[in-house]
Chain A
Amino acid sequence: GEDVEQSLFLSVREGDSSVINCTYTDSSSTYLYWYKQEPGAGLQLLTYIFSNMDMKQDQRLTVLLNKKDKHLSLRIADTQTGDSAIYFCAERRGGGADGLTFGKGTHLIIQP
C-alpha cells in the first residue's frame, strides 16, 4: 500500500524493553527515521538509519531494518516513564521528492 504502517498503541512495564514496529512502502527509500513526540511538543529526532544498513545502536535505542520485508523496528531498552510519548516512523522515499512520509504514530504507554 501507500501508507507507512504502525500499531497505534504499545503498553510495556517500566524496566522492560519496548519494541515499536513499522512497515514502510518504498523499496528505494534512502533513509528511515524514528521521531518522538511528547504532548504539546514538536518532533524530536531519535535516530535514523541509512537503507544500506541493517542495524544501528545508540545507547538504549536499537534500530533494525529488514529491507526485503520493508520492516523497521525501534527497540528501547530499560523503558522509563520519560519514554512515554508517541513514536513516529518516517521514510525518505527515493529522490526525496515528497519530503518525509510518516506513519500515524505509536502511543507508548508505560505501566509502573
Chain B
Amino acid sequence: KAGVTQTPRYLIKTRGQQVTLSCSPISGHRSVSWYQQTPGQGLQFLFEYFSETQRNKGNFPGRFSGRQFSNSRSEMNVSTLELGDSALYLCASSLANREAFFGQGTRLTVV
C-alpha cells in the first residue's frame, strides 16, 4: 500500500510569489490535514479536509488556503510569500480520527 505522497519535495520561491503544494493520501483515506514545521514554532496545524470540505482551520492568516478534490488529493496554497513562510510543510492522511500518517514533506524556502 503506497504511503502519503507529497510533491514537490523541495521548492525555492521569492518573496511575494505564491506556491501550491500537493498531497496524495493513502488509498481509501478521506481525511487530509496539513501542518507547518519550523525550528522556532515547531509543528503547527494548518487545516483539515474531509470529503472535499474544510473541517478545521488553525491559526494562520488567510494567505494560507487549501482544497481537496473528489479523489481525496489535497493542495495547499500560500500567496504573497514571506520569508517567515520558509518551513517544512507536512501532510497527514487518516482513515478516521485515529492514526495519522505523514508524508515526507515539502521543504519550502522563501528568499
A contact residues vs B (CB 8 Å cutoff) = 30-31, 33, 35, 41-45, 48, 88, 90, 92, 96-105
Contacts and interface: CB of A to CB of B under 8 A. Distances in A.
Interface in B54-111: 56, 58, 90, 92, 97-105
A102 B102 contact: no
Contacts of A105: 42
Contact of B48 (A31, A99, A102): A99
B58 A98 contact: yes
A104 B47 CA distance: 19
Contacts of B99: 45, 48
A1 B30 CA distance: 33
A101 B42 CA distance: 10
Residue from A44, A48, A88, A96 having most chain B Cβ neighbours under 10 A: A96
Interface residues of B, number: 23
B40 to A, nearest CB: 10
B101 A48 contact: no
Residue from A43, A96, A100, A103 having most chain B Cβ neighbours under 10 A: A43
A99 B92 CA distance: 10
Residue from B6, B42, B47, B100 having most chain A Cβ neighbours under 10 A: B100
A65 to B, nearest CB: 16
11 contacts: A31-B97, A42-B4, A42-B6, A42-B90, A96-B56, A97-B56, A99-B47, A99-B56, A100-B43, A101-B45, A102-B35
